[in-house]
């Protein structure tokens, strides 16, 4: 039975914590404080439990500020326009001002709460006496505070969300798939390669780019999840953001170089260029070894890839001059990939080429 993925565990934990925060907020607002609009507290608690403590504090603070502004807007509108004409003027003006403030509001994520708060207060208080209206205003604000505070405390105290090494898992997946692509390219080059095959290589590099973009998003989450998180110093699951960033940078270069190899071969196929058989055999062997090294940094691939020997032997070989730009471009791109493979291996704790 496979263990759940780290990001799936994080999502499940957040669901459970949001449920807990909702229940606690309802009990506090309805049964402990006996607030008139107790339903607002669990609603805000549910919306406050975000993926990180930082996001919870930031969005929760916005919700409190937006609700406070909404209360002020509704109170001023009612005092100036009253509840005449079934409260329509006060309601319309409050929503209009609230939406305008939401657009200009610093906390845009929760800015619309200015209008919704004013809407709730005016419609719920229609027909009430002034004393009841003022009490409803205070209860509405207390509901907001209870909901936000409950969501924050639950998210902070009950297994605060941490990265769970999601970024490490994402970069490892990209590294493995990049190596597999290089090995696949070597296997294909031992047979007949047409435009369709080389185009598939290019598409595969684009897929790797997309996956690496997601890894960068995981890295941003990793950094954010460490903010104000009591687990960040004692959890063994915490990834090192700087280390992950270094791996991502090298993988970006590796994917770009793999795409360069694929494009060179693609253009050569389109131009129907004939490769020297000996060059093709030896260069393809090196490509396979480099791919194996990338896919599994700890694997013993027999030392350095042998590009220097290939260049030396070709320099004294009687090859057609018109093919040297092609061979030189292929060797340069593969040499860059080999260097990147060495860097990724070292970052993964494996030995370099010279000691592998």
Exposure on the CB side of residue 67, measured as CA atoms within 13 A:
23
Least confident window among 137-151, 198-212, 218-232: 218-232
C-alpha distances (whole Å) from 144 to each of 56, 72, 124, 229 are 14, 14, 16, 24
Given this model, what pLDDT does residue 185 score? 92
Given this model, what pLDDT does residue 336 score? 86
Given this model, what pLDDT does residue 134 score? 61
Q: Would you give the distance in Å from CA 12 to the centre of its chain?
A: 17
Residue 181 has pLDDT above 90, yes or no: yes
Least confident window among 73-82, 100-109, 144-153, 207-216: 100-109
| pLDDT range class, residue 3, cuts 50, 70, 90 | very low
What are the extents of the domains in the chain?
A: 6-157, 166-355
Given this model, what pLDDT does residue 66 score? 79
**CA–CA dist 55, 18 (Å, integer):** 14
Mean pLDDT (the chain, rounded): 76
Least confident window among 13-17, 79-83, 106-110: 106-110
**CA–CA dist 348, 82 (Å, integer):** 69
**CA–CA dist 188, 196 (Å, integer):** 11
Secondary-structure percent of the chain, ordered helix, strand, coil, rounded to 5? 75, 0, 25
Encode pLDDT of 319-355 as tens digits: 555 567 788 888 888 888 888 888 877 776 654 444 4
**CA–CA dist 321, 306 (Å, integer):** 23
| pLDDT range class, residue 76, cuts 50, 70, 90 | confident
Given this model, what pLDDT does residue 162 score? 59
Q: Would you give the distance in Å from CA 118 to the centre of its chain?
A: 35
Residue 227 has pLDDT above 80, yes or no: no
- Within 10 angstroms of residue 151's Cβ, the number of other Cβ atoms is 30
pTM of this prediction exceeds 0.75: no
Residue 95 has pLDDT above 50, yes or no: yes
Does residue 208 contact residue 265 with C-beta atoms inside 8 Å?
Answer: no
Structure tokens at 120: 């709730």
Given this model, what pLDDT does residue 355 score? 42
**CA–CA dist 41, 321 (Å, integer):** 78
User: 166-355: what fold?
Assistant: 1.20.120
∠ CA 302-346-161, rounded to 5°: 135
- What is the percentage of the chain residues whose pLDDT exceeds 70? 72
Encode pLDDT of 121-152 as tens digits: 777 665 555 555 566 667 777 887 888 888 88
Residue 208 has pLDDT above 90, yes or no: yes
Encode pLDDT of 16-72 as tens digits: 888 998 999 999 988 898 887 788 888 888 877 776 666 677 777 777 777 778 878
Encode pLDDT of 277-312 as tens digits: 888 888 888 889 888 888 887 665 554 566 677 776
H helical segments located in 226-351 = 241-270, 277-295, 307-315, 324-347
Given this model, what pLDDT does residue 356 score? 41
Is the alpha carbon torsion for 109, 164, 222, 5 positive or negative?
negative
């Amino acid at each position: 039975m496979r263990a759940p993925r780290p990001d799936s565990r994080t999502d499940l934990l957040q669901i459970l914590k949001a449920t807990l925060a909702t229940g606690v907020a309802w009990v506090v607002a309805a049964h402990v404080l006996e607030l008139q609009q107790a339903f607002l507290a669990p609603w805000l608690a549910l919306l406050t439990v975000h993926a990180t403590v930082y996001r919870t504090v930031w969005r929760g603070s916005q919700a409190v500020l937006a609700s406070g502004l909404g209360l002020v807007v509704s109170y001023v509108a009612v005092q100036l326009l009253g509840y005449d004409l079934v409260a329509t003027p006060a309601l319309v003006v409050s929503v209009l001002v609230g939406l305008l403030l939401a657009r200009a509001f610093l906390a845009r994520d929760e800015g619309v709460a200015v209008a919704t708060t004013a809407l709730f207060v005016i419609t719920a208080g229609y027909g009430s006496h002034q004393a009841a209206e003022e009490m409803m205003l205070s209860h509405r604000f207390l509901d907001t505070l209870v909901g936000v505070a409950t969501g924050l405390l639950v998210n902070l105290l009950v297994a605060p969300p941490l990265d769970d090494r999601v970024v490490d898992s994402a970069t490892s997946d990209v590294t493995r798939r990049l190596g597999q692509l290089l090995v696949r390219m070597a296997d294909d080059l031992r047979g007949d390669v047409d435009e369709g095959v080389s185009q598939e290589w290019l598409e595969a590099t684009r897929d790797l780019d997309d996956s690496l973009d997601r890894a960068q998003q995981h890295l941003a989450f990793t950094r954010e999840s460490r903010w104000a998180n009591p687990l960040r110093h004692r959890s063994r699951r915490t990834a090192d953001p700087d280390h992950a960033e270094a791996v991502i940078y090298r993988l970006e270069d590796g994917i770009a170089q793999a795409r360069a190899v694929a494009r060179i071969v693609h253009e050569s196929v389109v131009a129907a260029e004939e490769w020297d058989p000996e060059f093709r055999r030896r260069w393809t062997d090196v490509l396979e070894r480099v791919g194996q090294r990338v896919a599994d940094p700890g694997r013993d691939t027999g030392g350095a890839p042998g590009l220097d020997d290939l260049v030396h032997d070709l320099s004294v070989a009687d090859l057609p001059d018109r093919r040297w730009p092609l061979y030189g471009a292929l060797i340069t791109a593969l040499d860059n990939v080999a260097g990147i493979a060495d860097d990724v291996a070292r970052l993964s704790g494996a030995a370099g080429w010279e000691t592998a």
